[in-house]
Structure 1
Amino acid sequence: MTALLTTANWDSDAWMHQLRTAAPDRRFVLEGVDAYDPAEIRYALTWKPPQGLLSSLPNLEVIFNLGAGVDAVLSDPDLPDLPLVRLVDENLASRMTEWVTLQVLAHHRGTLTYLAQQKAHRWHEEPQPLASEVRVGFLGYGVLAQHAARVIGALGFATHAWSRTGKDADIKLHVGADALPEFLANTDILVVLLPLTDATRKIINADLMAGLAQDGALGGPVVINAGRGGLQDEDDIVAALNTNVLKGASLDVFQTEPLPADSPLWTAPNLIITPHNSAVSDPRAVSRYVARQMQAFEAGEPLQNVVDRSRGY
């Protein structure tokens, strides 16, 4: 069965090589490069596909999303009513945990302050709270957040989380909209790993940031977002940093990517910007994941990690 790959601006050669290595008995074609008959395509492997592409494949059976967020696929008004499989990969979770841990420690240990002092040739020790005095809250408690929370907790930070719905958790879990204010009021560092849905769009706004703990051990709250750019109101974040509503922030995702050169985020104080590289999909690991799912599907077994479209993840 033929599979169609479309990867936006990723390294297509690397992806095609790994897919053919993982499933040498299958035919893979690259959108925009290889000639193919739309009727022969049974699987679509995609990241931010052009709108209308998936609906043009009359015999498509399964859509595999190659990244963590599925909002780009779900935004297609002509998306066919077929199983959409989201990416769940230990490699992806480990990369995200590395990035989240780096950002939490950077703000906890005053990295931006010390870099500024180094540039000014200034030697001055800042007060340093214990990790146990700093409350790290995870807004969203899916697979990536759970993995990161275990590492952050092991470092001694006081961790808790918020989720729209209840689930098994080995840390304190605040559940539902009514529990959100209490969760925010007891959070010094907010780590946002929510999916992007109509309910979460621009959830990182002035009201949410004003609700974070202002009296914590860091002297002010910090926001870390590696979820989706659409989760944040970027004007509100700039304003919060300029008025000390936020002590600091780390952003890996943005409403427009690449981040425009004239965005005020570039010069906002105490802000760390990274180019959407917190958890880059690894072609080899993802190709093996997709190959296993295809084989199981053709053997009559259920697909794993199918998106619930009513929830958007």
Structure 2
Amino acid sequence: MPRILFSAPPELWAEYRAPLARAFGEAGIAVEVTTETGDPAAIDYVVFAPRGGISDFTPFTGAKAVLSLWAGVETVVGNPTLTQPLCRMVDAGLEEGMVEWVTGHVLRHHLGIDRYIRADGPHWDKRVPPLARDRTVTVLGLGELGRACAEALAALRFRVLGWSRTARSVVGVECHHGKDGLRPVLERAEIVVLLLPRTPETEGLIDAERLSWLPQGAVLLNPGRGALLDETAVLAALDAGRLGHATLDVFRVEPLPPDHPFWAHPRVTVTPHIASETRPASAARVIAENVRRSEAGEPLLFRVDRARGY
């Protein structure tokens, strides 16, 4: 019987205990799930979230895989003691939540809804927005989440440009890739959505130079990774009018400190890292399926490429 260590902050165990039991039952797998390390060599799988207590994976000599509860693995992928296969979390709940957040905020900025919500007194503003087909949205990152968001925006008839490090093809999306492809998609972007992973290549990608490529008044949405942004450059671009608004869900330090200038800036919207939250029910099924696959000798789902960092 596989022995599984649930290594995550204690409050998550209460949320995951029942969903994991149901998911393994539905998968027809008898397992023992524990929150106690005991004998590390006897652990077959580690279900992992940051701040769960494990920083040294060396003692887990019998572990067949480390299964992350998070889509982002930047906090663990570079750990030199982690020699076991690492799988990141990709599940329907993450994708649906991200699509809803992105489409909701793109439509909010496209329609100019803030003008009416924040208006003081009578505000009969007759500025009619263009149709979606006349608005260009650029999505940086065309992995599972980026692709799903780009497809949803294209289905709403936005002109969608996509950019990724390597060549991708998405129906209804004009795709670009590589270093030479970034500037053209930013120069045409009225709304930019950042859905790239955090890697050495993407750290601080949106800096002063790349912000200068945007059309005047463009809107920036970042539900991807806080480290993608040079925060000082973003604030300067907002103050200069280069950026019309920044709607941000992720930050370099979380929770965002109360004295951070993003809170008080009139053209910044802060959401508390809720765009793509892991849902225990759907995430538990992904964990159970990967254990089933491993025990059956099948390839693991969503295995991390260490060289690429995701």
TM tier, shorter chain? over 0.9
CA RMSD of aligned residues (A): 1.6
1:142-161 to 2 correspondence within 5 Å?
A: 142-161=143-162
CA distance in 2, matches of 1:4, 1:14: 15
1:228 and 2:225 aligned:
yes
1:28 and 2:69 aligned:
no
1:231-242 to 2 correspondence within 5 Å?
A: 231-242=228-239
Aligned position for 2:255: 258
Q: Any stretches of 5+ residues in structure 2 without a counterpart?
A: none
Aligned position for 1:212: 214
Query: Per the alignment, in what secondary structure is the counterpart of residue 278 of structure 1?
Result: coil
Query: Per the alignment, in what secondary structure is the counterpart of residue 288 of structure 1?
Result: helix
Deviations 1:17-43 (A, max 9, x none): 21122225211122xxx3622122111
Aligned position for 2:98: 96
* Counterparts in 2 of 1:311 and 1:184: CA distance versus 1, 3 Å: same
Aligned position for 2:73: 70
1:61 and 2:58 aligned:
no
* Counterparts in 2 of 1:204 and 1:18: CA distance versus 1, 3 Å: same
Aligned position for 1:38: 40
Q: Tell me if structure 2 keeps the 8 A contact 1:162–1:173.
A: yes
Deviations 1:56-95 (A, max 9, x none): 322222011111111111143x332221111221221111
Deviations 1:144-202 (A, max 9, x none): 11111111111121001001101232221111101111111111111000000001011
* Counterparts in 2 of 1:51 and 1:199: CA distance versus 1, 3 Å: farther
Number of aligned positions between the proteins: 303
Q: Tell me if structure 2 keeps the 8 A contact 1:29–1:36.
A: no
Aligned position for 2:84: 82
1:287 and 2:284 aligned:
yes
1:270 and 2:267 aligned:
yes
Deviations 1:220-241 (A, max 9, x none): 2111111111111112112211
CA distance in 1, matches of 2:130, 2:143: 29
CA distance in 1, matches of 2:229, 2:34: 36
Note the C-alpha offset of 1:269: 2.3
Greater than 4 Å deviation, 4+ residue runs: none
Q: Any stretches of 5+ residues in structure 1 without a counterpart?
A: 215-219
Note the C-alpha offset of 1:10: 5.2
Matched letter for residue 282 of structure 1: R
Query: Per the alignment, in what secondary structure is the counterpart of residue 71 of structure 1?
Result: coil
CA distance in 2, matches of 1:6, 1:111: 43
CA distance in 1, matches of 2:177, 2:298: 33
Matched letter for residue 229 of structure 2: Q
Q: Tell me if structure 2 keeps the 8 A contact 1:224–1:251.
A: yes
CA distance in 1, matches of 2:255, 2:11: 14
Taking structure 2 as the reference length, the TM-score comes to 0.93
CA distance in 2, matches of 1:51, 1:15: 18
Matched letter for residue 307 of structure 1: V
Query: Per the alignment, in what secondary structure is the counterpart of residue 103 of structure 2?
Result: helix
Q: Tell me if structure 2 keeps the 8 A contact 1:191–1:224.
A: yes
CA distance in 1, matches of 2:281, 2:13: 12
CA distance in 1, matches of 2:221, 2:265: 15
CA distance in 1, matches of 2:207, 2:10: 30
Matched letter for residue 85 of structure 1: C
Deviations 1:232-281 (A, max 9, x none): 11121122112111001111100000000000000122221110010111
- State which drifts further: 281-290 or 122-131: 122-131
* Counterparts in 2 of 1:9 and 1:273: CA distance versus 1, 3 Å: farther
* Counterparts in 2 of 1:53 and 1:16: CA distance versus 1, 3 Å: farther
| Aligned residues with identical type, % of pairs | 35
Q: Tell me if structure 1 keeps the 8 A contact 2:151–2:170.
A: no
Aligned position for 2:165: 164
Q: Tell me if structure 2 keeps the 8 A contact 1:112–1:270.
A: no
CA distance in 1, matches of 2:178, 2:98: 25
CA distance in 1, matches of 2:130, 2:169: 31
1:134 and 2:135 aligned:
yes
Note the C-alpha offset of 1:293: 1.2
Note the C-alpha offset of 1:8: 3.4
Matched letter for residue 111 of structure 1: I
Matched letter for residue 29 of structure 1: T
Aligned position for 1:11: 12
- State which drifts further: 195-204 or 13-22: 13-22
1:291-302 to 2 correspondence within 5 Å?
A: 291-302=288-299
